[in-house]
Structure 1
Amino acid sequence: MPHSNTATPHWDHRDGRVAAVVAAVVYSLWAVEIILPVGPGVTEGALADPASGFGQFLDSAYRTAAILVVLAAGLGLALGARRPRRWLTVSWWSMAVFGAASLAASLLPGRCVVATDAACTVESVVEGVRGATAVQPVLAVVATLAALLASAALTWDRRRAGERAWVVLAVITLAQAVAAAVVLVLAALVFASSGDGSPGVALGLAERAHLVTVALWLLATGVVPGQWKRARTRHAVS
């Protein structure tokens, strides 16, 4: 929410950092879902039934998280580094694209609770699931690639700035790249097989791994201080 040290409320970098951290927490919830079966003998968990209570909660939570991502990216662009830096700008814009694509996908009908789940959206289309459209896989792929570009650009910016956190960011980016590649390959296999014979457990684990790496990127974006603007009157440590 806007802060006010004077009579006029205003946004500052703390709002963007909090928005990114909260979004990271929400995106990590899918890792919890795997231990919440919807009934005896069912191993897919709540996401196998979007109508379940937890599935509906996740649907609303991810939509909110997408809005928070767009907010964080907007504040990063408006309140970020004093001097424009190309790679940081690329990172913020890519983050905004990720949030916008996630939000748009979450508003479309379909059975996929996680709108950025490329494999689920592809399978829904090829199987002719009611409400599924070809736009959903496109948005999912765009969101996946935008998140990866944002993480990579932020890593390179922090390295050029000499901030030691770039090493951690590089590890997160590498993990995200591997997870994204696996998910997209599995999604392509689902499409090629017309939805039959999907990889099952491997696919579910890959999707969760990818979402965890996205959550780690958002967490790092909120925690790492270098890309956020300092107060004008003093050098504050955030």
Structure 2
Amino acid sequence: MPDTSTASLHWDYRDGRVAAVAAAVVFSLWVAEVVLPGGGAAQGALAEPGTTFGRFLDTTHRIASILVIVAAALGLSLGARQTRRWLRVSWWSMGAFGAASLATSLMPGPCPVSTDVACAAEALAEGAHGASVAQALLSVAAVVAALLSVVALTVNRWRASDPAWLFVAVMAGLQAVTATAVLVLAGVRFWSAGDGDPGVALGLLERAHLVTVALWLLAAGIIPGPWRRTHGGRTARIAN
């Protein structure tokens, strides 16, 4: 009978890759709404507060946020060391995104999705019950941290002469466009005191932004460069 008295949990960099990919999948679960009655592109908001689907998305975002934090922590501790400066920025920003998303999802505000900046801005402007400045600011911080992380990852892969840098750069460009559009329109919603319906356009933009977030996390998990350690040789001497 094997002796298990000294058994202990052993983390591996591959756990971080799995966590990043799993987070990408979980952040994509909002697509389940297309099969729900009344769902799909006709809705302006990502999810209606208090609905079964809203509670489902709230739970999935908490799970995804925790997975992102795990991936970032393992990337920092067990990931690659070459071109470390930009890679460190990417990991820390990823961790900040996960922490901000998790904190927002735990707040008692009316917005079920942690990255739903438009909902947070509208709820704050209208003085909705449970809405707070902290929730809105953390939603914005999550969007900005995700963008900073994918940009830093792009620079890191480019400096490491990794062919995958072009793919990550496309993801960074798409995320920059959608994040900027979402933040601008959310700002408009806030300064207009939340008057009127958020509209389909803003809902589609937020869905598109979540797609780019999921693709960034997927890229961070499947590209081996950020995780592969090197000892000596030309790769280890690449400048920061």
Structure 1 residues 95-132: Cα deviation after superposition (integer angstroms, max 9, x where no partner): 00000000000000122111111111000111111111
Q: Is the 8 A contact 2:46 2:207 kept in 1?
A: no
Aligned: 1:24 with 2:27: no
Alignment of 1:169-184 (within 5 A): 169-184=168-183
Structure 1 residues 125-168: Cα deviation after superposition (integer angstroms, max 9, x where no partner): 11111111011110011110000000000011001101111110
RMSD (Å) for aligned C-alpha atoms: 2.2
Counterpart in 1 of 2:191?
Answer: 192
Structure 1 residues 6-44: Cα deviation after superposition (integer angstroms, max 9, x where no partner): 9654111110001000100111122342452458xx942
Deviating 4+ runs (over 6 angstroms): none
**Alpha-carbon spacing, 1:48–1:155, altered in 2? closer, same or farther (3 Å):** closer
Instruction: Give the % identical residues.
Output: 61
Alignment of 1:9-158 (within 5 A): 9-38=9-38, 43-44=42-43, 47-83=46-82, 85-158=84-157
Work out the CA distance in 1 between the residues paired with 2:214 and 2:99: 16
**Alpha-carbon spacing, 1:183–1:34, altered in 2? closer, same or farther (3 Å):** farther
Work out the CA distance in 2 between the residues paired with 1:108 and 1:102: 10
Work out the CA distance in 2 between the residues paired with 1:69 and 1:190: 29
**Alpha-carbon spacing, 1:84–1:156, altered in 2? closer, same or farther (3 Å):** closer
Unaligned runs of 5+ in 1: 1-5, 233-238
**TM-score, with length taken from structure 2:** 0.87
Structure having greater relative contact order (Cα 8 Å, sep ≥ 6): 2
Amino acid at match of 1:129: A
**TM-score, with length taken from structure 1:** 0.88
Work out the CA distance in 1 between the residues paired with 2:101 and 2:211: 16
Work out the CA distance in 1 between the residues paired with 2:45 and 2:133: 24
